[in-house]
Amino acid sequence: MRGVVSTPSSSAASGDGAAHAHGAATPAPADGGAPASGDGAGAGPARRPRWRRPPGRLPAPPSWARRRVPWATSAAVFVLQQVGTGFAAHDQRAADSVGLDGTARLLLTLGPLLLPARYRYPRCAVFGTSAVTLAYLAAGYPYGPVLLSVVVAGFAALVAGYRYATWSALGMLWLGNLLVAHTFHRLLPPGDDPPGSWGADLFMLVWMVALCTAGELARVRHAERERRQREAEEAEKRRADEERLRIARELHDVLAHSISVINIQAGVGLALLDSEPAQARTALTTIKAASKEALGEVRQVLDTLRAPGDAPRAPAPGLDRLAELAEQAASAGLRVTTETEGAPVPLPPGADLAAFRVVQEALTNVVRHSGSRTALVRIRYGSTAMELLVDDEGPATGTGPTGGGNGLVGMRERAAAFGGTLEAGPRPGGGFRVLATIPLPPGEGGAPLQ
């Protein structure tokens, strides 16, 4: 209670649905793999297939998008590939290219059929569409918009973070087509085909680089948007926590002082009720005044919870009410002597309130935990800072309610909020001392503190 108490720190643990259901989440590997599960068989839930999107990845589209858009996109790609390749095949017949038969139509259909899986199974979608497209090109069917399926699946996989998987699938497609067009074309029927065009291979390579670039940019933008959203949520949570701490600190400082006075006077009233009714009546009068004061200050604190922009109903207390604190302490049996050194400097409302609460809490601690019946409050104004000193001369009685030092912690937080410091501990010659330093507004101070 009476001693130097360090400010406790707290940490918040957060988790998502996956962590709640499956234990602590592990970071996703850089190659786009799923998070690793436990090593022991049966030590945890079943291992998630590596081709599925792990829950730690970038968020999937909303449910309505997963239900409708994938199928709509698949239908659009199906139509474009079938119709566009049909027109392209009509123009390429003069070059004795293979016409579109049933197998070609089937391959042009398989790619769009794999696209609805690109959100839940991104790897399967990108590797499947690449394999189907490679089979189509290796068979020597006419060129056309046959790469649309790979474009859609690869873009979705890149945005989801499956970079290496997408690059591997595209590399497989390009190298496979290159080998077929320039090396294996003599081994495939009819056997007398000329080698493929290097221009077409170069065009496919440029197209793949463009796809990877666009997908990476989209992935980075998506990740940046998610990061900003997380930071905004964390900042909002910090503001809410700080506001709760501020309100709790205000309520503690307001109620601790008044209730301490009420508690002491109630004990005096009970002890003197039969023997000295007049003094008991005085104690009850003090209780009434202290409770009224406490209700007024609690109401003022609760006013801060109103909508922003509303003016407070009463001005916040400051050092100009130091005499009231001395009177309240006197009613609890503590004689307070106040001294001021230097020319008083007007403080900003927040700093003035912080100084008032520091003195109030220090006197409350003397009343509750010290055997001293006297206290000294000294205010010293310097050139850049103001010192608040509260001394008492009695040892700790140990009769007060035990606590975790919240009062000292609150005083330190108030001083630190305005760039100040607070020291609290036993005095060398006996007693207890609270010394707070609060910076003054620039240009408002007087002589330097000695």
Q: Identify how many contiguous H helices and E strands the chain contains and give both numbers.
A: 11, 5
- Give percent of the chain with pLDDT exceeding 70: 68
Residues ≥6 apart with Cβ < 8 Å to 258? 290, 291, 293, 294, 297, 328
Question: What does the domain layout of the chain look like in residue ranges?
Answer: 63-196, 316-450
Query: Nearest-CA neighbor of 218 among 35, 28, 58, 56?
Result: 58
Is the predicted pLDDT of residue 24 greater than 70, yes or no?
no
Confidence of residue 6 (pLDDT cuts 50, 70, 90): very low
Token pair of 153 as six digits: 């699946």
Distance, in Å, from the CA atom of 68 to the CA atom of 241, rounded to the nearest integer, reads 41
Mean pLDDT of 255-281: 77
Q: What pLDDT was estimated at residue 127?
A: 92
Q: What pLDDT was estimated at residue 308?
A: 55
Q: What pLDDT was estimated at residue 97?
A: 56
Is the predicted pLDDT of residue 16 greater than 90, yes or no?
no
Q: What pLDDT was estimated at residue 185?
A: 55
Confidence of residue 34 (pLDDT cuts 50, 70, 90): very low
Q: What is the pLDDT of residues 403-434, one digit of tens each?
A: 445 678 888 888 888 899 999 989 888 889 99
Please write down the long-range contacts of 409-413, taking CB distance under 8 Å and 24 or more positions apart: 409/5, 409/7, 409/8, 410/249, 410/252, 410/253, 410/357, 410/361, 411/357, 411/358, 411/361, 411/362, 411/436, 412/7, 413/7, 413/245, 413/249
Phi then psi for 307, rounded to 5 degrees? Answer: -60, 145
Is the predicted pLDDT of residue 347 greater than 80, yes or no?
yes
Q: What is the pLDDT of residues 209-238, one digit of tens each?
A: 888 888 888 888 888 888 898 888 888 888
Q: What pLDDT was estimated at residue 435?
A: 93
Is the predicted pLDDT of residue 386 greater than 80, yes or no?
yes
Q: What pLDDT was estimated at residue 98?
A: 62
Q: What pLDDT was estimated at residue 40?
A: 40
- Give percent of the chain with pLDDT exceeding 90: 7
Query: Nearest-CA neighbor of 386 among 421, 357, 414?
Result: 421
Is the predicted pLDDT of residue 131 greater than 80, yes or no?
yes
Is the pTM value of this prediction over 0.85? no
As a CATH number, domain 316-450 is 3.30.565.10
Query: Nearest-CA neighbor of 335 among 350, 321, 349, 325?
Result: 325
DSSP conformational letter for 155: H
Q: What pLDDT was estimated at residue 162?
A: 85
3-state secondary structure of 8: coil
Q: What pLDDT was estimated at residue 160?
A: 83
Distance, in Å, from the CA atom of 122 to the CA atom of 270, rounded to the nearest integer, reads 78
